[in-house]
Structure 1
């Protein structure tokens, strides 16, 4: 069977093709591009990719690089050091405005140009010296899953016309937001923005954020979960500049645009979206890209504030086997163990208490365990132990390699049901 998803995405492109918008005239190289190029990529958090249109055509990443470099600064320097130099408040102004805090001169957020210049300076200031652009290029390549390069012609074009960015950099330097040469910071930032990508690349980069910082194809943990949470939060409130409020209420996903015509959007835990169309609206965002994202959000219920279905229990199966001293209750769990899901297990065991001397928790189908889910589950195990019930884990993925639940009690952890003690004769009737 052929997947219907590419056909749907093609239909979206076909129906979202207005002629409104203008090219980025203030950068000669961007003003000379084909205005009719149009592409859409959708990549799930698991790495399944769907791309239509001109998705292999290269263009420069521009401001879409900002959230990724912000993440690099957070990973490299830590939250406190970065927040000392760049804030997280929406500016409510265009990307190139002088949006600085009074008295301190700290840029309001890392998505506007002033904040992005400060963030680039932070990355460039970490050892080894003068390797900021190389580290950024390596980061973006890791996110895309292939080696990227810099469009030097676009970089020169932007630098030759980058008077405002140079003015911003000098102003930041006057406030000691960074201590380096302002022109060197602008040159590095311009080269960061001139990295060449395709829509397919951007879709994979967005999917990396959607999957908690893990590159879906390579499996590399590029960003930690706390960094991803911070980056997505700032994208949601600041990523679309003076249109951020309209974007969040209408489309409802963290996003970032660039003046070359790209947009990325991220639905955490589900997918990354990338759109490319060079004609820009008055906010400097792809006009057709905005329409595509509106259509996808409406059709696919992507808005973060759409009330989801009430979380169902991760309890897949509950069965009791044997009698007497060898009787066992088996709980087969599945999916992601988060607070709300584990709470349903606790509630189930309160409503229908364990009456056997042993409980086996089979985690073979569990994909991930979140900290709150882990704490609730281990506390449940501790209380069951105090009630005289022996608990055993089947944990081939080592979600709980050495669970200590308190009071010195550590449940037995096995790789498969086949490793259960032989006196439990009931296990011969179980799969695995």
Structure 2
């Protein structure tokens, strides 16, 4: 498997030349465009790696399915989905348009920024500090890595340049989809996006989702089976922004991308995959990372459809 991963990384490295690192968050411009790495953890807890698999990067939108799991475990489902929808938007991840034009005005799904701000607002806690600690502990437990923390340089960069997210949040507050202090909710949202991980962490979270919420090592249930199924379904339908349909056809694996260059994939009952390639396509997905997953899906027959 390690040889196969090295081959796939080497064959797809050229695609990094066709993408660009994210620049709208200034700190993300520091990423090395040519980086490309992967980790796979299988259902026997075996770890396989290749390329720049241990390079640290911020999780960004890959945090969205994890925080959605928290929101669903903290709240009644009816309440959660009265505030955020279940349908693909067909629009860019940071679009604000449908908050005004939809009949309901609620965000289309939890994988776009507006929907994720709603789910972040639903995390339970008596203070911002308590919510942040609960969130971090959940990520650490899912990744089996107690050293996971927040990259505060990226967090500050996101907070300084987050006016579009700020506009969404105030619209959501005005229309009754979030309660509480808007700036506090945004602070937690910017921090969740700035959690720093690597491909191994993503693969570990991916395999725990693949095993329907049961930790591959301890056999402890971390997420209910029903929630883990829902999370993977959202990853299939909405996880790759407005390229989710094409990805489902070409690759056929539940996956979630982030503008930090990461992609987390979860093959039910088989494996978790973490990919890193900060050169992005025009829709905000890792351009070489998608090619890597497409090759692996074909070579290992991973397509769930």
The TM-score, its normalising length taken from structure 1, stands at 0.68
Deviation at 1:22, TM superposition (A): 0.5
Distance 2:197 2:207 in 1: 15
Corresponding residue SS for 2:95: coil
- Unmatched segments (≥5 aa) in structure 1: 306-432
Which aligned runs of 4 or more in structure 1 are off by greater than 3 angstroms? none
Conservation of the 8 A alpha-carbon contact between 2:74 and 2:122 = no
Larger radius of gyration: 1
Q: How does 1:145-294 map to 2 (within 5 A)?
A: 145-147=144-146, 148-294=148-294
Q: Distance in 1 between matches of 2:108 and 2:27?
A: 29
Residue 265 of structure 1: SS of its match in structure 2?
strand
- 1:254-298 per-residue CA deviation (whole Å, 9 max, x = no partner) reads 110000100011111111111101100011000000100110111
Q: Deviations over 1:21-45 (max 9, x none)?
A: 0010111110112222211011113
Whole-Å Cα distance in 1 between the matches of residues 239 and 289 of structure 2?
15
For residues 172 and 117 of structure 2, the distance between their equivalents in structure 1, rounded to whole angstroms, comes to 9
CA distance in 1 between counterparts of 2:250 and 2:52 reads 26
Higher strand share: 1
1:353 match: none
1:15 is matched with which residue?
11
1:358-369 superposed matches below 5 A: none
8 Å contact from structure 2 (residues 203, 264) kept in 1: yes
Asked if 2 retains the 8 angstrom alpha-carbon contact of 1:68 and 1:140, the reply is yes
- 3-state DSSP of counterpart to 2:41: strand
Give 1:162 deviation, angstroms: 0.5
What RMSD over aligned residues (CA atoms) do the two structures have, in Å?
A: 1.2
How many residues matched?
299
1:46 is displaced (CA, Å) by 3.3
2:296 matched residue in structure 1 = 296
Deviation at 1:103, TM superposition (A): 4.1
For the residue of structure 1 that corresponds to 2:149, the secondary structure is: coil
**TM-score normalised per structure 2:** 0.95
Q: Which moved more, 1:100-109 or 1:138-147?
A: 100-109
Contact 1:266-1:273 at 8 Å conserved across structures: yes
Q: What's the secondary structure of 1:202's corresponding residue?
A: helix
- The 5 Å alignment of 1:101-140 reads 102-123=102-123, 126-130=124-128, 131-140=130-139
Distance 1:127 1:79 in 2: 18
Equivalent residue for 1:53? Answer: 51
Q: Within 5 Å, give how 1:340-355 maps onto structure 2.
A: none
Select the structure that is richer in helix.
2
> What is the alpha-carbon distance in structure 2 between the residues aligned to residue 198 and residue 290 of structure 1?
17
**Could you list the per-position Cα deviations for residues 373-423 of structure 1 after superposition, in whole angstroms to 9, with x for gaps in the alignment?**
xxxxxxxxxxxxxxxxxxxxxxxxxxxxxxxxxxxxxxxxxxxxxxxxxxx
Q: Cα offset for 1:128?
A: 2.8
Of structures 1 and 2, the one scoring higher in RCO (CA 8 A, sep 6+) is 2
> Whole-Å Cα distance in 1 between the matches of residues 269 and 221 of structure 2?
15
8 Å Cα contact 1:145/1:218 also seen in 2: no
Q: Distance in 1 between matches of 2:270 and 2:56?
A: 26
